[in-house]
Chains A and B, each alone.
Chain A
Amino acid sequence: MALTEVQVSSSAVVADETAPTRTRAWLRKLHIGVPAGLLLLIFFACFVLPLVAPIPKPTGGDILNSLQPAFTPGHILGTDDNGNDILARILVGGRTSLFVALTVNLLGLVIGGGLGALAAQAGGIVDSIIMRLFDVLIAIPSLALIVAVSLSLGPGVRNTILTLSFFSVPAFARISRAETLRLREQPFMVAARLSGTSTWRIVVRHLAPNIGPQLMTFAMLGLGIVMVIEGALSFLGLGIRPPAPSWGNMIFQGQLSLSGTPMLVVWPSIALFLTVVGFNQLGEAVRLRWSGR
């Protein structure tokens, strides 16, 4: 409820300004900056560091070297029960998990987003058929579906990506369809249709730029979600299989010696948590930025 209309303009008389303005602008930058910085750090650590820094290999460790505590020379975070360096496994596992999450969301964005928008634009039978198909997928609780699909497709990076797409594509399709439907009724869209603009042009010039931001935000939040689900899948032995590291299967392996060496679970958990927090916060901050202004 606006009680007054404030025209903050420059006038001959000096405006009555209070101090908090500048701090608030700064805080807004931090809101995006901090999670972005955190994620950059994580990406750097997982993708670049293993290539340039002298980090031991994540697999093929000596079993006689197992369960070394942190700060052992050569193993900053210690080793796991197979003698593999934990830090290396976290970094390389992170690389795999991040790669999977990014690809899955990209597939979801492109395929799911595209199909959803198509369904909404086309309407009628096409819409019904497409959405019915997705409804079938959505009717099954996500984790159950993923677990069942992974059974058919098998483990491994490529198959895990395909499996998780069964989750991301319907999710994106739903959002994309809802947003497109909402946009269709806006005056500028109606005008474009009525003036005979070709469908392709409508999609590229009008639709995409307007649903794009929402889908991107959803993708960012989705990155966190997919990382957790991939972790769950690997945790259950169905996603990325050892010896290849993934934060999920590291947590599972650590579970076996939980009482004795809890850090085997804690380190990958922290890595997962920080990454998911980063994605969630960034997604939130971006969403606020795009909708608040």
Chain B
Amino acid sequence: MSEAVLKVENLHVRFEVAGYRVHAVNGLSYQLRAGRTLAIVGESGSGKTVSSRALMGLLPPNATVSGSARIGSVELVGLPEEDMRRHRGADLAMVFQDPTRSLNPTMRIGTQITEAIRAHTRVEPAAAKRRALELLSLVRIPDPNRRFHQYPHQLSGGMRQRVMIAIALAADPKVLIADEATTALDVTTQAQIMELLAELRSRLGTAIILISHDLGLAASYADDVIVMYAGRAVEYAPTRILFAQMRMPYTRALFDAIPRLERESHTLLPVTPGQPPDLTALPAGCPFEPRCPRARPECRDSRPPFVEHEVGHWWACWNPCKDGEQLMTELGV
């Protein structure tokens, strides 16, 4: 088992918005090992994006981060901005969701890549250009010499995302965070980008964090999966183990809600009713309790702890799903 490249412990992120405190992340912990892919899965508002932006120090000024996030021996939480800058791109890099908006439309893509290179190493323009062309080949962009001089709008969506990956890899980061990196792309391109990331991971040994709402994506491409709900991790396991046996009812519900061809046509999609909790007013008990078909009285009274109940498999639930149980029948579908 390789050494942990990134150790996150008890991460909390709080926002002050319009006079309210929003508790976006509440005690997230995980470890990322070199060369492995970790998927962080959850719906909008679960805190998955906020937690990674917190690692990179890219949150707006009204955010407060506490807890610990260590990359190597460096503690990222509380790091002053000037120091944080040295780690951004060089140790931790991010690929964002919408490549159209994430690239500066008035700057040539070659320049946007060399900028990332020269932010961390003093190189001459010629050397930076060579490296940029290497990166363009690495992300499988054909005819890199021509593309180097082009502007983002002259490239297709898939190619733009490849450019974003090239930019992210420019300074040889240990960890690459793909924040919904394929959500804005069509399915075919999505697959291509995911294959690319997998290939890069095995070639370069970069650890990857995949943030997504798509459990299916996690199933196909991740080694480990964390499921988040209301700012907390509610289940964590290597992919095989998780999908063999989902314990936390929320994970089960997410899984069941994925549209599948095998399902009978014209049957209702088993969508969990209700909304995620108000992050300014989190309940004392389990946050999923109001929507959970397996809820018991103790679920409202106290929060279930996030514990390694089985080997390598962590969850936070008072009444987890048993082996072979079907959540679908319990929902009356």
Q: Indicate yes or no for A touching B, C-beta below 8 A.
A: yes
Is chain B's interface secondary structure helix, strand, loop, or mixed overall?
loop
Counting CB contacts under 8 A, is B144 at the interface?
no
Tell whether A11 pairs with B278 under 8 Å between CB atoms, given A19-B19, A20-B19.
Answer: yes
How many B residues have CB within 8 A of the partner chain?
Answer: 27
Instruction: Flag if B50 contacts A4 (CB, 8 Å).
Output: yes
What's the dominant secondary structure at chain A's contact region?
loop
Known A17-B19, A21-B19; judge A5-B283 contact (CB<8 A).
no
Across the interface, A6 reaches (CB within 8 A) one of B47, B50, B280, B282, namely: B280
Question: When the two chains form their complex, are residues B49 and A16 in contact, meaning their CB atoms are under 8 A apart?
Answer: no
Q: Which of A5, A18, A24 contacts B20 (CB 8 A)?
A: A18
Most chain B beta-carbon contacts within 10 A, residue among A6, A14, A15, A20 = A6
Docked-complex contact A18 and B22, CB < 8 angstroms: no
Known contacts A16-B21, A20-B19, A21-B19, A8 near B278 by CB under 8 Å: yes
The verdict on A3 contacting chain B, using a C-beta distance below 8 Å, is yes
Chain A residues near B50: list those with CB within 8 A: 3-4
Contact residue range for chain A? 20 to 34
Closest CB in chain A relative to B17 CB, distance in Å: 6
Contact B279 A18 (CB under 8 A): no
Q: Which residues of B contact A14 (CB under 8 A)?
A: 281
Q: Name the B residues within 8 Å of A11 (CB-CB).
A: 277-278, 281, 283
State whether A12 and B19 are in contact (beta carbons under 8 Å apart), knowing that A3-B53, A4-B24, A5-B44 are contacts in the complex: no
Least Cβ distance of B311 to chain A in Å? 34
Q: Enumerate A1-57 residues with CB–CB distance to B below 8 Å.
A: 3-9, 11-22, 24
Interface assignment of B284: CB less than 8 Å from any CB of chain A? yes
Could you say which residues of chain A place their CB within 8 Å of the CB of B280?
6, 8, 15-17
Besides the contacts A4-B45, A5-B44, what 15 more A-B pairs have beta carbons closer than 8 Å?
A: A3-B59, A4-B24, A4-B279, A6-B18, A6-B22, A6-B279, A8-B18, A8-B278, A13-B281, A15-B281, A16-B23, A17-B280, A18-B21, A19-B19, A24-B18
**Chain A interface (Cβ within 8 Å of chain B)?**
3-9, 11-22, 24
